[in-house]
Structure 1
């Protein structure tokens, strides 16, 4: 447990994640009674109170039920996990985002200037800033904030506020898309993100940053999306002899 203790993520959250994965993989089938709190605490090398907090998270999610005199029983398997495969090329990115059946909740829309990183192009003119939450089956899975060149945004403001942006850009005429970048890092949810995604504070999230620049080097789109860590996965073919970008 030394590695867990060095993490910024609370111990009980990490332990709950580990048990959740064990339930998902069938180690603890529905109807199975989990070991006693003391046994689990000993296994993970934590205090009994920490273990109770971890079990409490799983109970809040409806995965287990604590019964007096019986113990902790597995009630359900986790919901559809890791259903979103992060794409690694433009065609797949457009296709993935276009197929998403999402409901969005607008958090903010205003005029702002993005911080553009090296390799993403240079800022140009004014931008429209939008922050929103994406839902699937009435469950939030992503908080995204993006900056879109105002001239482009004003061509279809309703579309850009209420649908996924990249497929909309791909379908529009006279949009100069030259370079597209994507980076992925692991972060933890702050208070606002945790609230929007309905996850515990400091829960792991995937931070995905995407950028689009035109042929003149102008950054026309900058976005950062925070995904729940339990909805995404990344598949890559690393076979020798294949071209990779």
Structure 2
């Protein structure tokens, strides 16, 4: 699912759905919805407004509820997320706002467009900020192993390794990536690594994937019964 940003009537206002928040943070949509519902009363008390509830069609074509939030509302909800999920959401908002920035085509709007030199400086500064944030974001994942590396220690290919762990309820797949099962979270078994690259057209792509710590490797060894070296 491609994350999108939705323009409202106010050209300076953008919105993101709870589905997209789940995709970016690697959380299940039902858990994001639950977090939003729990935080809505406090928001309503302070801001005198409720979060916008809309509907979408699921894979079966059935209508399901989801929330549509402004950037401020998204970041408010993100205060309940862990540091990594919150950082990914902030980075994604920055990326989308840069990609979708629209100055218009009339003369008045074109006059607002910075010169090419200024644009390059802005982009260079943005990349430096994102690069620093990315290094900080990946610090917890230093000295961890990818699924491919761990699979080799068990004499498996990556596909079989992931399938076995899924069958054993050690991990599950959601939003295009593998996630540690909820009953195993908080034990230091995994970390998350973020990778940014660019397409030939210059479009920035962000990929987040799970890696395994030495504690996680020890746990897998106890469950799989294979001698990992």
- The TM tier, using the shorter chain, reads under 0.3
TM-score (ref. length: structure 2): 0.23
More strand by share: 1
Greater relative contact order, per chain length (Cα 8 Å cut-off, separation 6+): 1
More helix by share: 2
TM-score (ref. length: structure 1): 0.22
